Amino acid sequence: MNTEDHSQLAAFIWSVADLLRGDFKQSQYGRVILPLTLLRRLECILEPSKDKVLSAAQAHQNKPDTVRDQLLLREAGQPFFNASPLTLGTLSPTQTADDLMSYVRSFSADAREIFEHFEFDNYVQQLDAANLLYQVVQSFAATDLSPERLSNYGMGLVFEELIRKFAESSNETAGEHFTPRDVVHLTTSLVLTGQDDKLKSGGIVTVYDPTAGTGGFLSESDAYMQQISGGMSVSLHGQELNPESYAICKADMLIKGQAVQRIKLGNTLSDDQLAGQPFDFMLSNPPFGVDWKKVQKGVVDEHKHRGYDGRFGPGLPRVSDGSLLFLMHLVSKMRPRQEGGSRIGIILNGSPLFTGGAGSGESEIRRYLLQHDMVEAIVGLPTDLFYNTGIATYIWVLSNNKPAARRGKVQLIDATARGSKMRKSLGSKRHFIAERDLDEIVRLYGTCQESEESKLFPVEAFGYRRITVERPLRLSFQASAERLARLDEQKPVQKLADPERNALTACASLNDAQVFTNREAFLKALKAAFAEHLPAGMKVGAPLQKAVLAALGERDPEADICRDKQGNPEPDTGLRDHENVPLGESVFDYFEREVKPHVPDAWIDEDKRDALDERLGIVGFEIPFNRHFYIFEPPRPLEAIDADLKACTDRIKQMIEEMAV
């Protein structure tokens, strides 16, 4: 059966949805059709061995369940069995719901669990209440999904087509669980390009997706590898948080003959159910901009207590976006380079490229990836590719075993203009990546050459040292009415009794006409006034003295520099600034060239040093993707703009004159 036949069969199965119209929402169609498609396929697979399984079930009914199940699996010759004498075609028209659920509950545990996560029982009851159940079931019973007609691979294609239709019909939430197939195909192609040594007939590789969704990446990678190799063993692994998506993914794996035990249900960040297991290839489209508050305690604990022995050693991103946590999770599952290494393809929004300054969790994660030379390429995609968002997205391709030509380099590919407009939008998805554009993007990546759409940079190009530039504090002091009013707002002054407050204000205002441009001179005059005029027994401690200075002092660029007890200039926090010095350039040379000519009294705070290399300046990394592809277009000449405006006003004037006639 060719691809067109697969699509026709999928369309025929989906046409059963016409029976549901009016009684079910369009977004619910897939929840009825997918589990019934799976049920019919499993029934067809088990048909040749059904009599033997039923005989064995009768013969071994008194044995422990674990022993009985193993015997029935052996008789079925499949990784699942069904011990019921019923089939879809023999369900009673009068008690269809009871018969159907009895039939489903007779499956072995792995298959039965899939139907539970589909909430199949609930939809069966809804179908039954709408008097549709028997009619729908009979439609599936008449559909030939036997292995003789349809191979596991072919059935996988049909199921994929149904999943796509299901996602499109509920596109308001599809993006959370379903990655568009054009994006899946591109990401998979990029990750597997140049891997012919691993993709060979008879080879064995493992593939992992920590945000498996409905299994699109797993299915696509399997299909790609089989197409390239002509026959190899591909072991698919994944974990998914959403029960329904997990059920669809597991059903797809079951249909394709994969070991469904390798697909796990749960939160990857807080409960890694494949911990300690490395993989050859990893693919993921984690949710964009979703916070990780629910798992914050576990993630923070792993970062603090396990460090680099855990998944999150380099740092943690802000709680509002967990994308980089999934990336670090994948990095932790890379095979050692001496064992061939691993490759990763992950889809991220723009935030992980640049969010977070030097020393932040995001910057430290980028630093770790770049300084360990793991980032091979980043591909900027067209906007409006996904069902639930139109934001800019990027494919990151990572490897811990780069080919020699790529070592120490990062390739940026601008594919933002390679989107084709869809005839009909699906949610936010208005563009798709056509096959010709996909091939060109993969070619740009594979050749690894400079062009208008492809740039190569050394790893250091994305690094910098953030230095803190201080300028001296300069204050002038005066007991003006405006400044004295600020004195009453100081908390230490507000705590004084009225007589003491009045006395303090009187002392502070003794030199009201004089402007002091030297703090020490003002402080000396202030202390003299306190000693001479304050009531006996009233003491002005450090908090009160500080309050007076704060109220009566103002920044004044013409005033003398304020100095500490050692005679060093005090920094003015209001004038504090930061400079990003390109990594590899001398901090002092940069400072003398870029800062000193503009602010001669500035200096570098040499206490601000990097926590890892202890050198001056805190190291940061960012990848300003758009900046590297920006092309400046000068504005049009004023004469041309004036001519256009004159032509426009002339047309308006002519139209008015014609209307007046």
Q: What is the pLDDT of residues 306-328, one digit of tens each?
A: 999 999 999 999 999 999 999 99
What confidence score (pLDDT) does residue 568 get?
A: 93
Q: Which residues have a Cβ under 8 Å from the Cβ of 576 and sit 6 or more positions away?
A: 468, 469, 470, 471
Residue 620 lies in a domain: no
**Are both 78 and 18 inside the same structural domain?**
yes
- Per-residue pLDDT reduced to its tens digit, 133-147: 999 999 999 999 998
pLDDT value of position 169: 66
Domain boundary among the residues 527, 555, 583 is at: 555
The two structure tokens encoding residue 390: 């139109």
Q: How far is CA 109 from the centre of its chain?
A: 34
**The two three-digit tokens of residue 402, written as one number:** 């780069």
- Domain carrying residue 290: 170-463
**Is residue 25 scored above 90 in pLDDT?**
no
Q: Which of 463, 489, 513 is the last residue in one of the domains?
A: 463
Q: What is the mean pLDDT of the chain?
A: 90
User: In 3-state terms, what secondary structure has residue 265?
Assistant: strand
Query: Within this chain, do residues 418 and 536 fall inside the same structural domain, yes or no?
Result: no
pLDDT number for residue 175: 45
Q: Would residue 571 count as lying in a domain?
A: no
Residue 177 belongs to what H/E stretch? helix 171-177
Tell which residue, 514, 503, 453, has the closest CA to residue 480. Answer: 514
Same domain, 190 and 140: no
Q: Is there a contact between 19 and 139 (Cβ–Cβ < 8 Å)?
A: yes
Q: Which helix (H) or strand (E) holds 618?
A: strand 618-621
Here the tokens at position 324 are 């980089």
What pLDDT sits at residue 534?
A: 83
Q: Give pLDDT, residue 133.
A: 94
Q: 480-496: per-residue pLDDT in tens? A: 888 888 888 889 888 88
Residues 238 and 299 in one domain: yes
Residue 168 confidence (pLDDT): 66
> Cα separation of 319 and 593, whole Å?
39
436 in a structural domain: yes
Instruction: Write the pLDDT tens digit of every residue in 237-253.
Output: 999 998 888 988 888 88
Q: How confident is the model at residue 474 (pLDDT cuts 50, 70, 90)?
A: very high
pLDDT at 328: 97
- Is a pLDDT exceeding 70 seen at residue 611? yes
Do both 8 and 136 map to the same domain? yes
Judge if 371 and 485 occupy the same domain: no
Contact 191, 345 (CB under 8 A): yes
Answer yes or no: is pLDDT of 292 > 90.
Answer: yes
pLDDT of residue 253: 85
Instruction: Name the nearest CA neighbour of 257 among 54, 42, 576, 27.
Output: 42
Q: Which two tokens stand for residue 351?
A: 């935030």
CB 489 within 8 A of CB 483: no
Q: Is the pLDDT of residue 457 over 80?
A: yes
Is 632 inside a domain boundary? Answer: no
Percent of the chain at pLDDT exceeding 90: 59
Is 210 found in the same domain as 94? Answer: no
The mean pLDDT value for 73-80 works out to 89
Whether 650 is covered by a domain: the verdict is no
pTM of the shown model: 0.84
The answer to the question of residue 206 being in a domain is: yes
Domain shared by 196 and 272, yes or no: yes
128-132, 164-168, 205-209: segment of lowest average pLDDT: 164-168
Any domain includes 629: no
Q: Residue 48: which CATH number?
A: 1.20.1260
Confidence (pLDDT) at 178: 67
What's the pLDDT score for residue 5? Answer: 66
pLDDT at 1 over 70: no
Distance of CA 573 to the CA centre of its chain: 36
Q: What is the CATH number of the domain that holds 417?
A: 3.40.50.150
Instruction: Assess if residue 600 is contained within a domain.
Output: no
Q: Does the pLDDT value for residue 389 go beyond 70? A: yes
DSSP per residue, 376-406: EEEEEPPSS-SSS--S-EEEEEEESS--GGG
- Is 174 found in the same domain as 164? no
Higher pLDDT, 32 or 228: 32
- Among 521, 555, 589, the domain-final residue is 555
Residue 543 neighbours by CB distance under 10 Å: 12
Looking at the structure, do residues 65 and 195 belong to the same domain, yes or no?
no
Average pLDDT over residues 101-122: 92
pLDDT for 268: 95
Q: Is residue 266 domain-shared with residue 406, that is, in the same domain?
A: yes
Tens of pLDDT, residues 627-636: 888 877 788 8
pLDDT recorded at residue 264:
94
Per-residue model confidence (pLDDT) at position 170:
61
Distance of CA 538 to CAs 423, 532, 533, 535, Å?
84, 12, 10, 6
* Predicted pLDDT at 18: 86
CA nearest to 376, candidates 429, 340, 412, 422: 412
Q: What is the pLDDT of residue 174?
A: 45
Structure tokens at 620: 């940061």
Mind listing the pLDDT tens digit for each residue in 521-571?
989 988 888 888 888 778 888 888 899 899 999 999 999 999 998 999 999
**54-68, 200-214, 250-264: which range is least confident on average?**
250-264
pLDDT in tens, 170-214: 654 444 556 888 899 999 999 999 998 888 888 889 999 999 988
Please give the tally of structural domains in the chain. 3
Q: Are residues 326 and 196 in the same domain?
A: yes
Q: What pLDDT is stored for residue 661 in this prediction?
A: 63
